[in-house]
Structure 1
Amino acid sequence: MSEPPDLRVIIVEDQALLAMELELVLGESGCDVVGCAMDQTSAFAIAARERPDLAMVDVNLLDGMTGPRIAQRLVSEFGTAVVFLTANPEQIPEGFAGALGAVSKPFDEQTIRAVVDFARRFIHHRTVGEPPRRFRLAPWLTTPPGDIAPH
């Protein structure tokens, strides 16, 4: 008997093939993919309905560079942990809009599995271990605890 999924994940990605590949890898990593969105409106509708633990968010979507706005709202309104997926890491806002970090495209299955494990530890235990290879950690997670300014 397999264990029930421990992370509810939303994929916010406008490349359908990449979203399907992510869904497969996340499922194999013990996650329950609760929805896929290609734009801001769909992402917020799914998040309000499903309350995901983790969101994999592309920076550039069908409705423009809305990934950072989506990330900020998912973090602040739903307490969702966010990981950016992007071919343009320079477009991630300073402070990462509350996201845990970013994975540059193209990425491989091993990287996504390692990022899910990293996010799982953060979500369940609020601990930040060694970041996975090819994962750029958000600056707010690298600041010593006493130095983090309240939001």
Structure 2
Amino acid sequence: MSDTRTEATFSDLLAAELPYLRRYARALTGSQARGDQYTVATLEAILKDRSPFENDDPIKVNLFKCFHSIWVSSGQALSEPEDTVRSRAHGLLAKLTENSREALLLRTIEEFSPSAIASIMQTDVDDVRHLIATANKELASSVSGRVMIIEDEPIIAADIQAIVKTLGHEVTGIARTHKEAVALGKEQNPDLILADIQLADNSSGIDAVNDLLEVMDVPVIFITAFPERLLTGDRPEPAFLISKPFQEAQVMSAVSQAMFFASTATLK
């Protein structure tokens, strides 16, 4: 195989995994912009040195491994003005056990196996399992707040509501349409919004959230069967995404992560 063909194949394989690295990076930072900055830094490092891919691990594992090496050396200690919401969030996150949140996201949101996570984080499987258990415990007891749900399927909405309540959060209400969502959000002023993409009247959950974000500053978790469509980097996009069909652990992890980036005074 020619070098040109090999280069094209590697680039195509890498590009196919980038949306998921973006999702992970954004969940870690709570921001599309900051998450994408670390994704770009990872790609720049790979362009300079491709040796981390010269092993038998899948390309996705090696990609996340490259990201993790950059993240642990710089991303975990972000420096921002003390009066920003993100500074407050990272102050809370700094109290968590090192690498525990990363291990939990890799397992629940990105669905890596414990052995793959061990490779990504350069540790062993027992340590990965310990970190995940620790993250679940620490996140559950750290922050509680008020969550608004935008979901038109009653059974799915009830499932999400039960999960949110299990985490100790209050559900401010459930909206099924764009109009209901905007009215409920403005009335209840939640700390976090959890939204489906397609709503009952064929309106857009994205449009409803965008309208709400004009009058409030809260994190949003979107639920979609096609997460890669919201992870292109071409326009303002969500920091938190859950793929459909979702698992309970994915919702729990995403809600716990996102709540750290909420800004209202009702948080505990």
Same fold (TM over 0.5): yes
Identity across matched positions, percent? 29
1:68-100 deviation digits (Å, cap 9, x = unpaired) = 111212222121211101123355385574532
Determine the structure 2 residue equivalent to 1:117: 256
Determine the structure 1 residue equivalent to 2:155: 17
Of the three residues 70, 85, 89, the one matched with 2:223 is 85
Highest CA radius of gyration, 1 or 2? 2
Amino acid corresponding to residue 61 of structure 1 in structure 2:
L
1:72–1:98: 8 Å Cα contact kept in structure 2?
no
Deviation, 1:121, is 1.7
Aligned equivalents of 2:176, 2:205: Cα separation in 1: 10
RMSD: 2.2
TM-score (norm 1): 0.71
The answer to which structure has the higher strand fraction is 1
Determine the structure 1 residue equivalent to 2:60: none
Determine the structure 1 residue equivalent to 2:195: 57
TM-score (norm 2): 0.42
Deviation, 1:106, is 0.8
2:221–2:255: 8 Å Cα contact kept in structure 1?
no
Distance 1:73 1:99, change over 3 A: farther
Distance 1:91 1:38, change over 3 A: farther
Aligned equivalents of 1:98, 1:75: Cα separation in 2: 12
Distance 1:62 1:9, change over 3 A: same
Higher-RCO chain (CA-CA 8 Å, sequence separation at least 6): 2
Number of residue pairs aligned between Structure 1 and Structure 2? 121
Of the three residues 87, 90, 106, the one matched with 2:245 is 106
1:75–1:81: 8 Å Cα contact kept in structure 2?
no
Q: 1:107 aligns to what SS in structure 2?
A: coil
Aligned equivalents of 1:36, 1:100: Cα separation in 2: 21
Distance 1:97 1:32, change over 3 A: farther
Amino acid corresponding to residue 213 of structure 2 in structure 1:
V
Q: 2:262 aligns to what SS in structure 1?
A: helix
Amino acid corresponding to residue 242 of structure 2 in structure 1:
V
Structure 1 unmatched ranges of 5 or more: 125-151
Q: Does 1:43 align with 2:187?
A: no
Determine the structure 1 residue equivalent to 2:36: none
Aligned equivalents of 1:119, 1:29: Cα separation in 2: 13
The answer to which structure has the higher helix fraction is 2
Aligned equivalents of 1:70, 1:93: Cα separation in 2: 19
Q: 1:122 aligns to what SS in structure 2?
A: coil
1:26-83 deviation digits (Å, cap 9, x = unpaired) = 0001110000011001101111110011111111111225111112122221212111
1:68–1:97: 8 Å Cα contact kept in structure 2?
no
